[in-house]
Amino acid sequence: MVEQRPSWAPAELDLELPNAARIYDYLLGGAANFKQDREFADNLLAVLPEARRAAQLNRAFLRRAVRFCVESGIRQFLDIGSGIPTEGNVHEIAQEIAPETTVLYVDNEKVAVTHAQAMLGDDPRTACLHADLTDPDTVLGSAEAARLLDFDKPIAVMMLAVLHFVLDSAQPHEAVARYVAAMPSGSALVLSHGRMSDRRVQRVSEQYQRSSNPGVDRGWPDIIRFFDGTELVEPGLVWAPLWRPEFADDDEPPESSLFCAGVGIKP
Ligand SMILES: C[S@@+](CC[C@H](N)C(=O)[O-])C[C@H]1O[C@@H](n2cnc3c(N)ncnc32)[C@H](O)[C@@H]1O
């Protein structure tokens, strides 16, 4: 049975095709998802029971990395593949420490953008742009970027849990290099990338082929290459829970977080 379209769902949206933003929203306990997304996520959890916890650990990395950037003096964020707003959005974390911080969110999924725009309202310090990561000219040349980002001052470019949805044929390394090139010295590249160390990766990839975001599994060297033009801060590229943890959690093997994460600073 086709689900009734809620009022917030853009008319052109294909409710039958599961989507990464809404699957992730469901894993995090959000309500901006449809039956097909939930079924997909439940199948995913059957193969990969740690996926929900992995999403939470990725959000925890986001929180620590945003704080790190603000404490390092950065007051501008460009969050690409920002997703459907969930508790602890970048502007909320950053503005708690430095209220003047500006944040431009970018996502290529309509539901994510619609929800973000509704949440942000007419806040002059934030905006959400509907654009694709692989189109840096549109993102960097947008009116929103001109309003919110001063390219003469350090900017944190965030790409969390998104690059594994960008196939090599779409040239993600070249796109990331363009963002890094546009940022002044002292800017940060904050990145997390899906990473599975066992054979289940094959089954998960096959599942995502049925969604609007077929994924790609990259090894550590290809992920580290995204940081070209920056210097990784300690502890480098590591499993997400190991990146400057706030408290020790010895119970969970770090690789069950399914994400590796790091922060590079442009010299
Ligand atoms: C798993 S969510 C991650 C959300 C958030 N960054 C986080 O880490 O919590 C991935 C997001 O990336 C978006 N996305 C996937 N491919 C994209 C692309 N090529 N350009 C922009 N956004 C993309 C999806 O729509 C989704 O909202």
| 31-49 confidence digits (pLDDT tens) | 889 899 999 999 989 988 9
Predicted confidence (pLDDT) per residue in 201-224, tens digit? 777 777 777 777 777 889 999 999
Please list, in sequence order, all residues whose beta carbon lies within 8 angstroms of the beta carbon of residue 169, skipping any fewer than 6 positions away: none
192 CA to centre of ligand 1 in angstroms: 11
Whether 187 lines ligand 1, by a CB cut-off of 6 Å, is no
Check residues 34 and 61 and name the one with the higher pLDDT.
61
Q: Is the pTM of this model over 0.85?
A: yes
The pick from 104, 107, 138, 260 for probing ligand 1's pocket by mutation, whose C-beta has the most ligand atoms within 8 angstroms, reads: 107
Report how far residue 73's alpha carbon sits from residue 237's, in angstroms, rounded to the nearest whole number: 22
Residue 161 and residue 192 in contact, taking contact as beta carbons nearer than 8 Å? yes
Q: Which two tokens stand for residue 123?
A: 């806040």
Distance CA 158, CA 203 (A): 28
> Residue type for 266, please?
K
Determine the distance separating the centroid of ligand 1 and the alpha carbon of 109, expressed in angstroms. Answer: 8
Pairing assessment for the beta strands 231-232 and 259-265 based on DSSP bridges: antiparallel
Stretch 141-150: mean pLDDT, rounded? 98
Q: Tell me the pLDDT tens digit for each residue of 238-248.
A: 999 999 998 77
Nearest CA, atom 13, ligand 1: 81
| Beta bridge pairs of residue 188 | 156, 265
The residue nearest atom 7 of ligand 1, judged by CA position, is 160
Please identify which residue in the block is written with the tokens 């970048």.
90
Q: Which is nearest to 237 in space by CA: 216, 219, 250?
A: 219
What pLDDT does 1 receive? Answer: 47
Return the pLDDT at 3: 63
Rg (CA), the chain: 18
Residue 47 CA: distances (Å) to CA of 34, 39, 51, 197, 199: 20, 13, 9, 14, 11
